[in-house]
Structure 1
Amino acid sequence: MTLTPVSSWACHGGQLTVHDHAADTTNCTMRFAVYTPPQAKDGPVPVLWYLSGLTCTWANVMEKSGIMAHAAAHGLMIIAPDTSPRGEDVADDEAYDLGQGAGFYLTATQEPWAKHFRMDVYITEELPKLIAEHFPADMARQGITGHSMGGHGAITLHLKNMDTYKSCSAFSPIVSPARVPWGKKAFEAYLGAPSPVWEAYDATELVQKRQSDTTILIDQGEADQFLNEQLDPALFLKMCRNHGQAVTHRYQPGYDHSYYFVASFIGDHIAHHARVLNA
């Protein structure tokens, strides 16, 4: 499979590279970034997937979070996919929380979204093949994390692919999308009217049926402007307790939903994954 180089920078002894490729799953050109740590000079390194939130691209986490310094210290490769298909022929919406930039890490079944919006399949099947082919990645040691909509993606993809993603964490995740405005809007557009199909993309529903043997780390800002309406984790945490899913959930006083928050605790999350992936 062919990659088209877009950009490359040396960083913390490693290399940040950005690539385009023609994606079969999303039927469009997709862009993603890879941070390869200096340890990769000596052989394949573990992989940590970072899924971004609404309106974001690969650039937000790489430019704003300081993730590469921590990845270099622990020898982790960071993969940052885009948040949706993009392009002139890709369906879109004028609102920020639907369409391009708002893929919600699912497979759409409704028009006009179904042709392109298959981000879960892209991330779990097509893109890993590219990574394995072109980068010094140890695909037997993978973890997954993300922010907001990407936190939703990280937890749901972990619970559905526990053998693949050995570790999981999230910043301010949408853990009950079927119950909050962001999720309801996206699910109805992409998946149709409320139905059991929604449950496959809702972490609160999934954790009642599937529990992993790793601890999920979740950080949440107490001053997050979306906390009560869009992110309320109470039901998810209750279901984790009731069904035996280990979770470390931390409220961080004074922090909001921004990348200032992510940057403040990204080191803890990288260390959380490194303890599992480097064991």
Structure 2
Amino acid sequence: MNVVKELSVCGGRLVKLSHNSTSTKTCMNVNVYLPKQYYAQDSSRSRPIPTVVYLSGLTCTPDNASEKAFWQFQADKYGFAMVFPDTSPRGDQVANDPEDSWDFGQGAGFYLNATQDPYAQHYQMYDYVHKELPQTLDAHFNKNAAAELDFLDNVAITGHSMGGYGAICGYLKGYAERRYKSCSAFAPIVNPSNVPWGQKAFKGYLGDERAQWQAYDPCALIKNVKRVGDDKVLIHVGDEDPFLEKHLRPELLLEAAKSTSWENYVQVKKVHGFDHSYYFVSTFVPEHAEFHAKNLGLI
């Protein structure tokens, strides 16, 4: 893993990294924010600093949320690190949408493992985000000493739009092994099998067999995952989001959760006057940060 650049931000440092991925067979970029607690000189910290993973939306890179979501202030407040992965494999050798649209192909990996040619060779984003990347970051940051950063065990996940979908999907798929301590989302695509963005991606990456789609659809997954304790999923969405009725449809996740262990444990907060932008995301990051800090044992 190569350090491309380090920047002072708030009380900590944003580290821009790149590495050759075995999952995507490409060079992948990832940003990591190390909070001020990482650099503290005292010995008050009794355990490794936990991590919040933020998955970005369509067309984004690791820089969008790093620059616009203001997670760093909250990371310093509570003492967690932030991981901002890329949204897809990239490069001249990576297949792209033949129509060069913005909602499929490079920048739109949908956080799944593609099975269809020509995408299967590189678009293995589920394995990359949830399996390879945590191990790679752990090896890089904790290689010379006892672990100071926890990328493996005390981890929460969140995301926006396509990334909100990816967060909920990854949380539910990894729930039995407790991969993530908590999950939240900003304006997520909750039922990709039944909305245009998701149908386009699933057909292109997974083929026409809809049974294959169910393995990555939160509305299908939630019916087969038994909730433990007081685990909840927190969702915010703006009532002026232009994609709300056609692509997001958060009410479908509430419907899917009915008569399951998740009923009343998926909280959808529809907030008046907000759209799909980072003005919306940054406004509610503090609430999501507190939610995750509690589940990570920081409050």
The aligned counterpart of 2:218 is: 203
Please, which runs of 5 or more residues in structure 2 have no aligned partner? 40-44, 142-147
**Aligned to 2:157, which of 117, 121, 144?**
144
Alpha-carbon distance in 2 for matches of 1:108, 1:140: 27
The aligned counterpart of 2:193 is: 178
The aligned counterpart of 1:4 is: 2
The aligned counterpart of 1:229 is: 246
Q: Superposition pairs for residues 1-279 of structure 1, below 5 Å?
A: 3-41=1-39, 42=45, 44-93=48-97, 94-135=100-141, 136-138=148-150, 139-162=152-175, 163-213=178-228, 214-245=231-262, 246-278=265-297
Q: After TM superposition, what 4+ stretches of structure 1 lie above 6 angstroms from structure 2?
A: none
Question: What SS does the aligned partner of 1:169 have?
Answer: strand
Shift of 1:12: 1.7
24-33 or 203-212, larger mean C-alpha shift: 203-212
3-12 or 74-83, larger mean C-alpha shift: 3-12
For residues 219-246 of structure 1, give each alpha carbon's deviation from its aligned partner in whole angstroms, at most 9, with x where no partner exists.
Answer: 0000000000001122211122321211
Indicate conservation of the 8 Å contact 1:16/1:34, yes or no.
Answer: yes
Indicate conservation of the 8 Å contact 1:159/1:211, yes or no.
Answer: no
> CA-atom RMSD, angstroms?
1.1
Q: Which has the larger radius of gyration?
A: 2
Q: Percent identity, aligned pairs only?
A: 44
For residues 7-66 of structure 1, give each alpha carbon's deviation from its aligned partner in whole angstroms, at most 9, with x where no partner exists.
Answer: 111112111011110001000000000001111234620111000000001111110111
Shift of 1:195: 2.3
Aligned AA (1:224)? D
Alpha-carbon distance in 1 for matches of 2:209, 2:285: 35
Aligned AA (1:159)? L
Question: What SS does the aligned partner of 2:50 have?
Answer: strand
Alpha-carbon distance in 2 for matches of 1:212, 1:77: 26
Length, aligned pairs only: 277
User: What TM-score results when the alignment is normalised by the length of structure 1?
Assistant: 0.97
Aligned AA (2:72)? M
Indicate conservation of the 8 Å contact 1:64/1:259, yes or no.
Answer: yes
Shift of 1:134: 2.0
Please, which runs of 5 or more residues in structure 1 have no aligned partner? none
User: What TM-score results when the alignment is normalised by the length of structure 2?
Assistant: 0.90
Indicate conservation of the 8 Å contact 2:250/2:268, yes or no.
Answer: no
Shift of 1:192: 0.4
